[in-house]
Chain A
Amino acid sequence: SQKIEQNSEALNIQEGKTATLTCNYTNYSPAYLQWYRQDPGRGPVFLLLIRENEKEKRKERLKVTFDTTLKQSLFHITASQPADSATYLCALEGGTGFQKLVFGTGTRLLVSP
């Protein structure tokens, strides 16, 4: 069956360190993958999109990689700040030809000062 797995346990790191979040999937062949941030009581906010023919994408302190052989995406936040504390969701293109996103359950990141 199809699965998208993100660490269900919260990731606790210290300010200034690099946070690395993992998204693994099985039985999907997504044409692209997106990462969103969600704060409590709010809707998800788009961060980055990476296509299957791209290995890496960067935006300011954010970096995402996409390994279609390992079926894995890694999401990095460098020089993390307490304001980066949130839940991060990965979302795969669901293979319908339309933009159907299938979301993972998210990983909560806590950055302590």
Chain B
Amino acid sequence: DTAVSQTPKYLVTQMGNDKSIKCEQNLGHDTMYWYKQDSKKFLKIMFSYNNKELIINETVPNRFSPKSPDKAHLNLHINSLELGDSAVYFCASSQDNRANEQYFGPGTRLTVT
């Protein structure tokens, strides 16, 4: 069983479109995250939810909107996609929002043309 899963794995779309990436964890964790890894492999946190509540919101354009319908799911919706949004997006989860290891999903490679 995959602990943290993301769909889709690859996403190719044109500038200006709106797209969503879905994430699910079956670990029973309370906290979930979205990260962006750019072409230089720099991994940066975007958002974190704890028990469906937003607790970390980095300086991300408001075209990015996370949604957590329940503790096991954290989706990322992106409006008006731009070329600079091309990256690999990783979802992760941890037991809670304290010092715990994070479990990462396989990533979604987004390419905006």
Q: Which residues of B contact A103 (CB under 8 A)?
A: 42-44
**Stretch in A12-20, A41-49, A75-83 with 4+ CB within 8 Å of B:** A41-49
A102 CA to B78 CA in the complex, in Å? 23
A43 touches B106 (CB 8 A): yes
Q: Is the CB of B97 within 8 A of A98?
A: yes
Bound CA–CA A42/B92 (angstroms): 12
Give Cα A41–Cα B31 distance, bound, in whole angstroms: 24
Q: Is A73 an interface residue (CB 8 A)?
A: no
- By a CB distance below 8 angstroms, the chain B residues around A87 are 41
Query: For the complex, is B103 an interface residue (Cβ under 8 Å from A)?
Result: yes
Residues B63-113 near A (CB distance < 8 A): 90, 92, 94, 96-107
Q: Are A44 and B45 in contact (CB under 8 A)?
A: no
The residue in chain B whose Cβ has the minimal distance to the Cβ of A102 is: B45
Number of interface residues of B (CB under 8 A): 27
**Which chain A residue lies CB-closest to B100?**
A99
A101 at the interface (CB under 8 A from B): yes
A residues 68-109 with Cβ under 8 Å of B?
87, 89, 93-94, 96, 98-103, 105-106
Contact B99 A93 (CB under 8 A): yes
The one of B4, B96, B99 in contact with A49, judged by C-beta atoms closer than 8 angstroms, is B99
**Those 6 A-B pairs whose CB atoms lie nearest each other, nearest first:** A43-B104, A46-B101, A103-B43, A98-B97, A32-B99, A99-B97
Q: Is B55 an interface residue (CB 8 A)?
A: yes
